[in-house]
Structures are given as C-alpha cells and as structure tokens.
Amino acid sequence: MAGSPITIQDVARIAGVSTATVSRALHNPGVVSRQTRERVEKAVEETGYAGNAMARSLRRMETRMIVVLVPDIGNPFFSEILSGIESVASASGYNVLIVDTNNDPAKERTFADYVRGHQADGMLLLNGRPPYFAEGSQEAGRRASPPLVVLCERLPRHDFPTVRIDNVAAAEAATAHLAELGHRHIAHITGPDGNILTAERLEGYERALSKAGLASSAALVQHGDFSIDSGRLAVRRLLETTPRPTAIFCANDEMAIGAIAELKANGRTVPADVSVVGFDDLQIAGCYDPPLTTVRQPRREIGETSMRMMLDRLANDNLDARDCVLPWKLVVRASSSAPGRH
Amino acid sequence: MAGSPITIQDVARIAGVSTATVSRALHNPGVVSRQTRERVEKAVEETGYAGNAMARSLRRMETRMIVVLVPDIGNPFFSEILSGIESVASASGYNVLIVDTNNDPAKERTFADYVRGHQADGMLLLNGRPPYFAEGSQEAGRRASPPLVVLCERLPRHDFPTVRIDNVAAAEAATAHLAELGHRHIAHITGPDGNILTAERLEGYERALSKAGLASSAALVQHGDFSIDSGRLAVRRLLETTPRPTAIFCANDEMAIGAIAELKANGRTVPADVSVVGFDDLQIAGCYDPPLTTVRQPRREIGETSMRMMLDRLANDNLDARDCVLPWKLVVRASSSAPGRH
DNA sequence: CTGTTAGCGCCTTCAC
DNA sequence: GTGAAGGCGCTAACAG
C-alpha cells in the first residue's frame, strides 16, 4: 500500500471502468450514470486516489497558479492585499504563489519566467518594476506579453492593466491637511529612489505646497526608503534644518513611526511640537502613540480587483488593458494638529 | 512567432539535433560536444525557449515546490521565518508556495492534499494543527506520511520533525524577570484556545509564579487571541481586577502593544504604573513607546533550519524525525521596571 | 453513457 | 557523442 502512488488506472481497474470514465466521474459527474459514479467514488475512497496535478496541468495546458511578485513580504502593507488576492483566487480554483523578490531584479526575472515556462498562468506585480519581457522596447508588444496585472503603481511607458489609487492626489491631500492646520514649514520624507510611488507622492507634496503658496526647499525633502530606520534618520537630519519644520509628511506609515520615535527621543512632543502624517493606514497606525494621521488605501479591494482582472484576462485573451483607480481616504487622528508657538 | 509556445522540438529542429540532445545540452552540458552545445544555446536564444515545467515535473516526478502553510500572513512574526525558508529553498532550486490558511481547517486540508496530488514535494507547517493524514490515528503511521516539517510548535502525539524554541522556558524567564523586579501581582494575557503556544507559554508563566512563591489566580489570566485588539480588551478586564496587577506578561508582542495602548488610554504610565513584557521581538517592539521588553526568537534561523531539514528529508526517505530546539533570548527594554508605590 | 485512442512536452534508457 | 523510442498520468476527441 505504501510505495508507488495511486494513479487513475488503479482506480479504473478497481471500479471496473476505463480511465476516461474515472476522469469524467470526477470532473464532470453529470455525464456519467449514477451507478458508475458511485462505483468510481468508492474506488477513489478505497485507494485514497488524489490525482496528479502535474499530469493534469500538462494535458490541459494550464496550471491554475498565479505568481505574485512582492518586493518585501515583511512589509505589512502587502499582507492585506495578498489576502484579497487569495480570496478571489481560491474562490475560482486558482492558487497563488507568493514570491518575495527582496527587490532583487534577478529574482524578479526568474519568477517572471514562470509564466513563460508554464509554471504559472499569470502574474501579479506589486513592485512597479517591469519584468524581463517588457524591457526590450521592440519586443514589448502587448500581444506577446503574458497575462499580467500591475498593482499600486502604473509602469511608465507600458499599458499593462493596473489597479491603484491616485497617489499624487492623496499625497496632496495629506500635505494640504497640514497646510490648512496652519503649518508653514512642512517637510517630506520620501520613499526609495527609482520607486514610482516615491515620485508620485513627492509630486503631490510639492503640488500642495505650491497651491498653499508655501515655498518648497531642498532641505525640507529628506530621502528615506520606506523603513522605520530611514524615518528615524531623516528626522535626525531635519532637526538640524533651519527653519525647523513644524510638520512632516512621510511617504509611508513605517517611516512616520520611525519619525515619531526619533522626535520623542529628542524630547519633542507629537503633535504639539511637530505634526506627523503617514501613508497607508497600517493596523499599527491607530494604536501608536499618538495615533497616526494617514492616508488609507483600500488594500483588500486592491487585491481583490487585481485578481478579478487577472481572471478576466485569462478567460478572454483580447481584453483591454484597464487602469482601475480606487478611492483613498485621509484618516485624521491625533498625530497632526495646529502648530504651537516657536 | 506569437501564438503557440516554443517547445523543445522547435529548438531541436533549428539547432539541427534531436530533442534528446537539446535536453542534455541544457541539463547536462558536460556530456555533449562544445560545437553542439553552442548550436543549441544559439537556438534557445533565438527562440526564447523557456522549457515547460509541467512536462518536466511529470517526467521527473518531482515539482521542486514546497508548500508552506501559514495561519495568517499578515502577522509580522511569520515574515522573517518565510524569508529564511525562501533563501534556503531558492539556493537549492526549490520554490516556496506560501499559503495563508486563515486558520481555516478546510483550507489546511486542501493544501495538505497538494503533496498527495503531486503539486508539491513537501510541506512546512506553521500552525500547529496536524494535517488530514495525521488525523486518523491508525493511518498516522510515519511511513505513510509525506515530507513534512513542523515549525514553532510540536504536535502532541506526533513525531514529525520539528523546529522550535523552548516556549515554556522562555515564558518562564519572561515572567521571572518581572518577579525579580519585585512584582507580586503579575497578570498573563494568553493566546487563542487550542493553540499549543498558548498552553506552553501559560505553563511557563505558572511555573515562574510558583518558583517565585507567588500565588496564581484565575483573575490574573486573561484570554487573548494574539491580536492587538485582544490585548486591549484583556487590559480593560484586568483594570477591574483586585488586587490590581502591576505587571503583565503577554503571550506575544501584538497583544503587548494593544495592552500598552489601552493602559495609556486609561491614564496609566508604562512601566511606572504597570510593566509589560511581550513575546517574539517584532521590529516594532524596539520602536514602541516605551520600547518593549520581550523574548526574541531566532525567526530567520527557524525558517532556514526547517527548510534544510526538508531538503534532507527529500534527499533521504528514511531520515529520523528530529526535534530541533533553537535558543531564545530575553531582551530587556524600557517597558518593564520595578513596581511603583501603590 | 462509455471505451478507445492519441497525444500534452519532456527526459532517460537503449542502441549505435 | 548522438538519435530513436517509450512513457510519466491525465483528459479531450471520436466512436460506438
């Protein structure tokens, strides 16, 4: 009984039918007689037959697997998106292969090859870097590109289907919120260079400053990389800036948390001395001290929508590349207030 | 050129060799002549041949895929473990299918079937619930069980290979730390019922109380479920307890964060009024206000070790079921101190 | 309603 | 060093 695995032939022999009938009884039960179906089911039970996914995939030329490329699975921002992807996928009988690329382009490429190598039917991209097949400009014809949906960012010079929010508008609203509170020296801590989100949120920040009639200054814009530590470091630099900023808009919540921690460590009170606004609305944002004002993204919905677009695309080769823009919301909590006297 | 995918036959035709030679040139280059190899490589380049993983898997009867069952991918505790798993796996040419089971037993079972259905070569379990094939006591013979490694928890009544820390000892040390600071009323917020970690950390807590000569009391033990919110709720109940506890040992960091947030919301100061100790040492623990005293688990190493055990097991059917116990460390930060006057 | 047949694409003997 | 051939397990097309 132990040893060689059970195949459809074993089941067929025991049930006294052909392998084709076993296959039908399992995948298309309506088309076989009740008697036969029951005999097959009994044989399946007896043997513990589980099918062979490799053989089925080869025959059907589909894997029912979707690869999701995530730059950093430890980033809590992604987990709810993944959860949304997962729920839609499994409801349609698809599996999700989550791959942490660690922002390593080589790894991204390896896994992009999954689709070409028939290890997956499609790919969801969360890192805003186009995969190999989109690199050469001449070969980037959409006709040749495998099923792909880009999440959260829109790749410049490509028209892959996209699900995202309007980062420029959201960043503008977050910064405008600080300006409306009366802040005149508003700093910004950016994401990593080369990231599309970084550019868009910076643009929103600058647009808000300009609309509020505030001067922007290079010293007010500090580079970060979305990590807690980079938020701390950026604040250390900002504390040496003149005029001292009374408010900081951080390109994500983790840097905002680092920023607040560092402000406290330097004896500043948030928001009395410095207001801080984040971006993403991680779960921790509401529990931090003070609770963080931030931009909420519909993370689960982003995941769900992207997977639905993927399923549409899989069912219909010639689907148009849609750009789906979901709503965001500024969540005002206690980390932002009118500036104190200085 | 677009349309049907390139197969090994296309490459063979273009290179003017047989498919067998193409296969050899690709997987066993030493055995073909340099001339031939170069011709094949050129043809591969021209065509963009990527192989077909399904066909290869079917032929070789292995998928080089390992499923990892995670109860909740949003829990940051798991991400570094996953990262460790990933790095060892990809170094050996294995892929990791991360599945969020959402603590849903049905889903766990579905994915446990992956191994039987040849969709994966082995399985890593992070949720401490035995999969289907271990449920029936008679069929649970080890000989029949597919390659499986259990992380972080040891399944009772099973002898699957395990990688974990000594939770009882670590919880005892965390509690003893509070007792040594002079606390006499030490509360505990537990994990969810039925979880093995919950039981082990509770046992360590009780053992420390007993060794310190402190009475344990039902009112001091509040149920949680590892979530931030459950930490908040538990504190609300503890604030109505007499005698009021001056210290709380939480079964994980997230509940500790919730506990501190709720204590602050009720006007208590941590640690002056109440000391709080967590478990796990999440990244946020060091940035919280106050920085959290907690137990550090070697998360990355847990992941790496478990994947190595899996690879060993895959390479050698008859490997003994090892129980690998890794070291932990109590990290004392500012959230715990001697009790104030009451 | 059921059986027979013919591969899916690849790798691995077995010959030469 | 290379080619021919068979088959991994399954399912879709075609007969009956």
User: Is B287 in contact with B293 (CB distance < 8 Å)?
Assistant: no
Residue range B61-66: average pLDDT? 94
* A329: phi then psi, degrees, rounded to nearest 5: -155, 130
Q: Which phi and psi angles does B144 have, rounded to 5°?
A: -85, -15
With H, G, I as helix, E, B as strand and everything else as coil, classify residue A33. Answer: coil
Span A1-33, pLDDT tens digits: 445 789 999 999 999 999 999 999 999 999 999
The answer to whether the Cβ–Cβ distance between A228 and B283 falls below 8 Å is yes
Test B2 with A144 for CB contact under 8 angstroms: yes
Contact A287 B80 (CB under 8 A): no
Strand D-proximal protein residues, Cβ less than 7 Å: A 4-5, 7-9, 19-20, 22-23, 26-27, 49, 51-52, 55-56, 58-60; B 16-21, 24, 31-33, 35-36, 55, 58-59, 61
Q: In the predicted model, is pLDDT for residue A137 greater than 50? A: no
Q: What is the largest CA-CA distance in chain A?
A: 89
pLDDT tens-digit readout, A76-124: 899 899 999 999 999 999 999 998 888 888 888 888 888 989 999 999 9
Interface contacts (A, B; CB < 8 Å): 112
Going by pLDDT thresholds of 50, 70 and 90, the confidence category of residue A49 is very high
Residue B303 predicted with pLDDT over 70:
yes
Instruction: Report CA Rg, chain A.
Output: 26
Residue A334 pLDDT grade (very low, low, confident, very high; cuts 50, 70, 90): very high
B215, exposed or middle or buried, with CB in 10 Å at 0-12, 13-18, 19+? Answer: exposed
Q: Could you give the strand order of the β-sheet that contains A186-189, starting from the edge strand earlier in sequence?
A: A221-222, A186-189, A247-250, A275-277
Angle (CA) A234-A207-A324 rounded to 5° is 95
Q: Map residue A19 onto helix, strand or coil.
A: helix
**What interhelical angle do A228-238 and A253-265 show, nearest 10?**
50
CATH numbers and ranges of domains, chain A: 8-59 (1.10.260), 65-165+300-326 (3.40.50.2300), 167-296 (3.40.50.2300)
Dist CA B244 CA A70 (whole Å): 46
Given this model, what pLDDT does residue B134 score? 60
Residue pointed to by tokens 């028939």: A118
- Beta-carbon count within 10 A of B224 CB: 26
pLDDT at B3 over 90: no
- Residue B306 burial (CB count, 10 A): 28
The amino acid at residue A240 is E
Straight-line distance from CA A13 to C1' C6, in Å? Answer: 21
Q: Which residue of A has its CA nearest to B145?
A: A2
DSSP-derived secondary structure letter, A5: P
A268 vs A251: CA distance, rounded Å = 21
Q: Are the Cβ atoms of B86 and A100 closer than 8 angstroms?
A: yes
> A290: left (phi > 0), else alpha (psi -120 to 50), else beta?
beta
- Look at residue A61 and tell me whether its pLDDT is greater than 70: yes
Task: At B169, give phi and psi (nearest 5°).
Answer: -65, -40
- For residues A279 and A277, what is the distance between their CA atoms, to the nearest angstrom? 7
Instruction: Tell me what pLDDT residue B139 has.
Output: 42
**Higher-pLDDT residue of B4, A183:** A183
pLDDT exceeding 90 applies to what percent of chain A? 77
- B177: which 2 tokens? 């730390």
Distance of alpha carbon B302 from the chain centroid: 8
Is residue A140 predicted with pLDDT exceeding 60?
no
pLDDT tens-place string over residues A234-273: 999 999 998 899 999 999 999 999 999 999 999 999 999 9
Confidence class of residue B5 from pLDDT cuts 50, 70 and 90? confident
Q: Are B296 and B333 in contact (CB under 8 A)?
A: no
Minimum mean pLDDT range among A131-135, A198-202, B96-100, B115-119: A131-135
Mean of the per-residue pLDDT values of chain A:
91
A7 touches B at CB < 8 Å? no
Mean pLDDT of B150-161: 84
